[in-house]
Each structure stands twice: as structure tokens, then as C-alpha cells.
Amino acid sequence: MTQDAVRPDGDAAAAFFALLRGHPGQTLAIALVIAAFVLSFGYVGGFFSSTRLSPNRFVDALEANSGHFPGFRRAHSKGICFSGGFVASSAARSLSSATVFDGSLVPLIGRFALANGNPYSNDAKTPVRSMALSLRPAHGDEWRMANNGTPGLPFGTPEAFYQLVLAGTPDPRTGKPDPEKMRQYVAAHPEFTAFGERLKAHPFSSGFADDSYGGIDGFIFVAPDGTRRLVRWSMQSEDPFTSFSPAQAEGKSANYAFEDLIARVARGPVKWKLVATLAEPGDPNVATELWPEERRHVELGEVTVDHVESEAPGNCRDVNFDPLTLPSGIEPSDDPLPFARSAVYSTSFRRRAGESKTPSAVAGQSVSSPQ
Amino acid sequence: MNPPKFPLLSRLFHWVMAILVVTMLYVGVGMVSTTSPRYHQLLTAHESIGILILVLVALRLINRILNPPPPLPADLPSWQRALAKSSHVLLYALMFALPLVGWCMLSAAEYPIRLFDTLRLPSILPPDPHVFARLRAAHTVLAFTLFAVFLAHLGAALFHGLMRKDGVLRSMS
């Protein structure tokens, strides 16, 4: 009975394969066409490449370097959310046609963070901080930024950053990075030493509110008349700068910088000037090189932060501050880093989005400035 | 005797969408594999072409209902007839599903979508990272499925054209 049930299919298959055997040349041709598509698809997808720097490889390296903390960002993992507003200057409107520069009050959200990959870092041991922003005009394109509190970066290309992450990754046998690997990296990358010198000359601020944050990368501002300019921007703190000293954090909690920020916002709004620096022809568009101080600076407007709250569902926790989420009127330049940042942040976001969440180090806080 | 042909509009839809869909599969698999500047260019193109495909496949389905395809050869074995029918249902389903899942997942992740650098696309799902994660995984699975079904479709077309010589391939050319 079973035999009868399968026989028609068996006959059909036998007839089909007999047809293939009767046309060996055509069968081979079809197989080759299909193989060509499969192989080219695999080639484009990097399935046969052991060297292509894919975002997955990059995020794997970040996780190996800092440890795997499910649900958290793979970099700048310890953070707090904020909201506020931005009002542009008229000078901004002459540089870029972006809607965020129309001079009206643009609502914004953002995130302050420590610039490393451990969500439970000690604030006093990580004085490099970041300020991510998402400007959300009621009518017009959103603008996301991921700004860093360092004078440029120690690497200018995604490959150099990847090698740095690898060199600093703890050896599974010793639990510590191999000093020889770091020596080799430093020898091969003079820009790393140059950055270290700049960092020494650039004192860290005491906390988030008196820190200034640079956009690091070069972007193109497109003016209403079509003029294209290479710019970098930075958030200049209006709070008086106080330099960080490890002694000041002595006896304070591991979250002292976040707690100070919450207390500061409770006293009143905190403000930053958003300033653009305009490149001159020949200025290097790479994050390892600063532009000369005398370059023209244009005040684009003022950012006000009047509310901070712990990371929670639906706030900045669930936003990917992709530096290539740009409004019409601001475009990527030939600086290679933002493209890699965009790709890697996206993969970090994809991974953490699917992971179950645990509360952030600074949990349960929500404070607004008095009106 | 001339074998029956697809109407001109149907053939136009087929070949334009064939190029777009296959291009999209390569763009998609390529963009997620790189941290080079190509990532951003490919992603921007992927979003724009994806929505274009969604619009085209909707029009194409209407056209298919108004202008039905010619019948398959009468001597085609029933199992091949069944495969042909189900693979076409699958192709249409995937051409709808991939852009819709893409649009939904970007909405759930709060990514703004701008098409061809001008048109802003509204969000069609409330923000939810878990929904994003599931849809993002589904997008990959569906894309690989579409690539496999495309290969089967291509193989079958060549089988008809080179071996059976039954006019099926010519009906679309």
C-alpha cells in the first residue's frame, strides 16, 4: 500500500532525472549559472573572507575586550538619559539648510556616558565621557550626534581602532592584555602617542556638566545657497570648568559623576554652546589630527538640558545614536570613521535589543530643573 | 505556432523587479558585512529601493489579477505544476514581506527613514527593542529564503528554456 502511494512521485522523479541525464550539457550549464550566483552572493557577503572588517567582527572584538554585558551598549555602556531643547543662531542658518537650524525651539533627548565598555565602571577611573544627542524638530529631519570629551581620537580609521581593541584585549590565560601586543601597536601607530600627549595637556573636567564634547569627525554642512563646507562641531560647556582630580572622587561613590549631574540639573538647566569649526583647504579630515586653533568658529546655537533620568524602556536606552542619522543639509564627509561607527553601532544595537535588560548602574532616578 | 506570452506590462514588471530584487539581495548581504563608507551608501540605497519594490509588487499583483498569466504547458507533470504555483505564491509573499518587515523593524528601532534623500517615511510601529530584534532576525531569514527561491526560479526557467523547450521561458521574454 505504501509502495502504491509513493510510486507516482517516484516515477515523476525518475522521469525528471532521466531528462537531466539526457541533456548533460544543459544540466551542467544550469548548475554553473546557479553556482555563479551562490558564489558571488557569498563573496559580496564576505562569507569567504577572513580579513574583511565586518561590524560583527568588530562587536565581537569589543565584547572580548570589555566583557559581555547583555542588554547594554557594547561601548559607552554606563549612561544616563536626558532631555531638553536646542535653539539655533542665525549664523547656523547661513551654514546649513537643516531644519534644526530654523531658530525655533527644537526638542531633544540625549545620553551622557562614560567612554568605555563596562556598564558598572567607576566614574573616577573613567574620566573620558560622552554626550549623545538626538535633535527632533516637530517638522523636519532628526539629527543624531555622538560627541566625545576628548581632543580628537587616538585612531583615524576603523582598522586602527580594531587593532587597538585587539591589542588591549585581556589574554584568556593571564586575564591581562599582552603588553607586547600593545607595544607593537604603539610602535606602528604614532598617532596613538600623539593623542596621549594631547590628553595630558587637556585636563579632564570634574564631571558631565562642565565637560565639553566634540563631534570628532568632519561633516559637510550644505548652506541654503548650496555652498558645501567641511566642519567639525563641539558642545562647549557654559558651566565653569573645574579640573578633575582623583582626590576629589575620594570617598565618593563609584557613580559620583552621575550623582553630581543629577544634583546639578535639580538646581537648574545646564547649557552648552554648539560651535562649528570651519576647515580651511588642506586641513586633514581625520580624527587623529586637530585643526589649528585660529580656524573660524561659528556659534550654531545653544543646547539646554533640563531633565535627567535613568535608562528605562522607551527613553534614550532604546535609541541608537548613529552619527550618520543626519538631516537634509548635513552630510557625511570623506572621514572614514562615521561610516564604521554607524555600521558598528547598528550591530551593537541589534544585539542588545534582543537581550533581556537589567537596571543600569544609576537606576530609578528622574529629576527636572525648576522652571 | 507561437506559444502564449505574458502581456507586455507583466513582462515589464517582471524584468524591472527581477533586477531590483536581485540587486537588493546583494546590496543587503554586502552592506551588513562592511564597516567601509560603502555601508552607508548601500544602506541608503537599500531603504529606498526596498520601498520602491513594495509599491511595484502591489501594482504588479493588481496587474496579475487584471492580466492573468498564460497557462502552463498541458503536458507539464502535476508535481512541477504544483511547484511552479507554490514557488510563485512564495515569491510574491516574500516580495511583500521583506520591505514590510524592513519598514516595521526600522520603525520599532526608532530609525528615521528617508527615501531617495528627500521623502520622509512615517513610523508604522511603536518603539520596542524586542520587536525590532525579532523582526531584524526575520528580515535575514526571509532574505536568504528569497535568494533560495530566486535560484529555484532561475533554475526552473532555464530548465524550461534549455531542456523542455516548452515556451515557458519565451512567454516571459
pLDDT of residue A9: 60
Q: Among partner residues B26, B78, B134, which is closest to A44 by beta-carbon distance?
A: B26
B114: nearest CB among A26, A27, A141 = A141
- d(C-alpha A258, C-alpha A168), whole Å: 27
Nearest to A249 by CA among A114, A83, A154: A114
- For A224-236, write each residue's pLDDT tens digit: 999 999 999 999 9
Gap from B170 CA to chain A (nearest CA, Å): 17
B153 touches A at CB < 8 Å: no
Residue A38 sits at the chain B interface (C-beta within 8 Å): yes
C-beta separation of A90 from A103 below 8 A: yes
Contact criterion met (CB below 8 Å) for A351 and A64: no
Question: Given this model, what pLDDT does residue A126 score?
Answer: 87
Distance of CA A360 to the CA centre of its chain: 19
In this prediction, residue A249 carries a pLDDT of: 74
State how far the Cα of A92 lies from the Cα of A203, in Å rounded to an integer: 29
Amino acid A4: pLDDT = 42
B115 touches chain A (CB under 8 A): no
CA angle B116/B33/B106 to nearest 5° reads 45
Residues of A in contact with B164 (CB under 8 A): 19
**Residue B64 in contact with residue B74, Cβ under 8 Å?**
no
Residue of B nearest to A32 (CA): B155
**Low-confidence residues in chain A, pLDDT < 50:** 1-7
Give the model's pLDDT for residue A6: 44
Q: What is the set of active-site residues of A?
A: 76
Query: Confidence band (pLDDT; 50, 70, 90) for B2?
Result: low
Is B122 an 8 Å CB contact of chain A?
no
ipTM of the complex: 0.95
Q: How confident is the model at residue B4 (pLDDT cuts 50, 70, 90)?
A: confident
Put simply, the chain B residues between 13 and 72 with a CB less than 8 A from any chain A CB are 25-26, 29-30, 32-40, 43
Give the model's pLDDT for residue A104.
97
Residue A36: what pLDDT? 98
Residue A7 has which C-alpha cell? 510510486
Q: Provide mean pLDDT across the span B77-85.
A: 93
Task: Look at residue B1 in the predicted model and tell me its pLDDT.
Answer: 47
For A17-35, how does the pLDDT look when each residue is reduced to its tens digit (9 = 90+)? 898 999 999 999 999 999 9
For chain A, positions 244-263, list CB contacts with chain B under 8 A.
Answer: none
From chain A, pick out residues whose CB is under 8 angstroms from the CB of B80.
Answer: 16
Which residues on chain A are in Cβ contact (under 8 Å) with B161?
none
d(CA A322, CA A217) in angstroms, rounded, equals 13
Domains in chain A, ordered, with CATH? 3-357 (2.40.180.10)
Q: Are B155 and B163 in contact (CB under 8 A)?
A: no
CA proximity to B133, closest of A71, A319, A343, A351:
A351
Instruction: Identify which of B33, B134, B158 has the shortest CB distance to residue A33.
Output: B158
How far off is chain A from B69, nearest CA to CA, in Å? 25
What pLDDT, on the 0 to 100 scale, is given for residue A15?
86
Burial class from Cβ neighbours inside 10 Å (0-12, 13-18, 19+) for residue B103 reads: buried
Alpha carbon distance B36, A341 (integer Å)? 10
Residue pair A134/A110 in contact by the 8 Å Cβ criterion: yes
Tell me whether A344 touches chain B (CB under 8 Å).
yes
Q: How confident is the model at residue B172 (pLDDT cuts 50, 70, 90)?
A: very high
Flag if B39 and A339 touch (Cβ within 8 Å).
Answer: yes
Phi, psi of B73 (to 5 degrees): -55, 140
Distance from CA of B54 to the nearest CA of A (A): 23
Give pLDDT tens digits for B107-134.
999 999 989 878 899 999 999 999 999 9
Of A30, A342, A353, the CB nearest to B109: A353
